[in-house]
Amino acid sequence: MQVAIALYDRFTVLDAIGPYQVLSELPGVDVVLTAQRHGPVTDERGGAAVSAVATFDEVPRPDIVIVPGGPGQVDHMAPGPLPDWLVAVDQSTRWTAGVCTGVLILAAAGLLEDREATTYWLAKEELARLGVKPRNDRYVFDGKYATSAGVSAGIDMALALAARIAGDDAAMAAQLGIEYDPQPPFNAGSPATAPAALVTAKRAASRFRAPAQ
Amino acid sequence: MQVAIALYDRFTVLDAIGPYQVLSELPGVDVVLTAQRHGPVTDERGGAAVSAVATFDEVPRPDIVIVPGGPGQVDHMAPGPLPDWLVAVDQSTRWTAGVCTGVLILAAAGLLEDREATTYWLAKEELARLGVKPRNDRYVFDGKYATSAGVSAGIDMALALAARIAGDDAAMAAQLGIEYDPQPPFNAGSPATAPAALVTAKRAASRFRAPAQ
């Protein structure tokens, strides 16, 4: 089984590497990092470059496609090599998935029309504007479309996807393999639990429009 | 503040990228991916190559150094470029850290002598043989040495480290930034919670020796 994860300039590296690590734990699964060109693709911070080992053209029929988020997402909200490839491979995928603001790319490409999905907490209103029903869940499956909340949520989505493609035992083996027994030192990982002042400050600094009052 | 994360052949990519993503959320923190040579360094699965932007020689005095784990760890348990550099930079670091079996590299280099530390669940006995007191914690701080359990635990350790270097508010902002509100679909991420048969099978297949009966 082939899983393609798309990379693009200014992606969020954990969005891509979380699902990569989980799914590459599964026997018989080949995870291919793809991009418009071969070679290093630089993340949003400029400090991490991950190599694409295949171009989009070289991966025409992946069983699963996953698109990460990141500030560079804004460059792929209209037809172009990445969204065009997503639409093309979606014709034959078993699962089409987005992490964080990568979900906006799927939505803008028309792949999530009238579906339920989740995305980065600051991008929910943007997702609604794109004709998708936003849900406040860690990950959402609607038909063959899998979507996750921000960045680290791609790990949870990938484990849920692992169960669907390889069974619960294989998914649990992957979880134990990466010792995913999370114990964050704070409970600030969602706008529902983080200090209100922090949520307000993040909203004010966000590149997404605030919700209507 | 400069954070250096060391890469080496057959490292586990999430071990490095988890802390990279967390710490690069902090204002004024520069996270530098280092290796023996510039350019792509390939992970244990062969599917992900992350670029080193600096050689060890080019980063002589990082404030924080972090070494990830992975099967390639076995190649760095005796003097050589990576452990020699870790010992050299440790002279002036504020924090020296290891994720997963990266902790074994620190231990073999003599940096954790008589200290308490944690590591990948399958490597606890190996850690004890290296003169370190293993603890069954998600992450451990002993003096300026920070260590974490396997793979994904580097995220939790990095958040705890973020609090120590930048304060609780900055750490919580980083956590909200990566929406780290983990909700794994299974509770199989530690040998204490995973199905016993799965733990037994993983132990049997492990490259580390089983604990004495």
Residue B100 known to be catalytic: yes
Fold topology of B2-185 = Rossmann fold (3.40.50)
- Helices (runs of H) and strands (runs of E) counted in chain B: 7, 11
Torsional class of A131: left (φ above 0), alpha (ψ -120 to 50), beta (otherwise): left
Rounded to an integer, what distance in angstroms lies between the CA atom of residue B173 and that of residue A78? 31
Interchain CB distance below 8 Å, B175 and A189 = yes
Query: What tens digit of pLDDT does each residue of A166-197 get?
Result: 999 999 999 999 999 999 999 999 999 999 99
B40 vs A51, A179, A188: nearest CB = A51
Percent of chain A with pLDDT over 70: 98
* pLDDT at A213 (0 to 100): 44
The distance of A160 to chain B (nearest Cα, Å) reads 6
**Which helix (H) or strand (E) segment is A200 a member of?**
helix A196-205
Tell me the chain A residues in contact with residue B138 when contact means C-beta distances shorter than 8 Å.
181, 183
Model-wide pTM > 0.90: yes
Smallest CA-to-CA distance from B173 within B27, B4, B68 is with B27
Which chain A residue is nearest to residue B198, measuring alpha carbons? A173
| Average of per-residue pLDDT across B149-156 | 98
A17, A184, A199 member nearest B159 (Cβ): A184
Segment A105-134, tens digit of pLDDT? 999 999 999 999 999 999 999 999 999 999
Q: What is the DSSP letter of B196?
A: H
User: B172: exposed, middle or buried (C-beta count within 10 Å: 0-12, 13-18, 19+)?
Assistant: buried
B32-79 pLDDT, tens digit per residue, is 999 999 999 999 999 999 999 999 999 999 999 999 999 999 999 999
Give domain limits for chain A. Answer: 2-185
> Which residue intervals of chain A are DSSP H helices?
13-23, 81-90, 102-108, 124-129, 153-166, 168-177, 196-205
- Do residue A179 and residue B100 have CB atoms under 8 angstroms apart? yes
Q: How confident is the model at residue B209 (pLDDT cuts 50, 70, 90)?
A: confident
Looking at beta carbons, which residues of chain B come within 8 Å of A150? 178-179
Chain A residues closer than 8 Å to B179 by CB: 100, 120-121, 149-153, 189-190
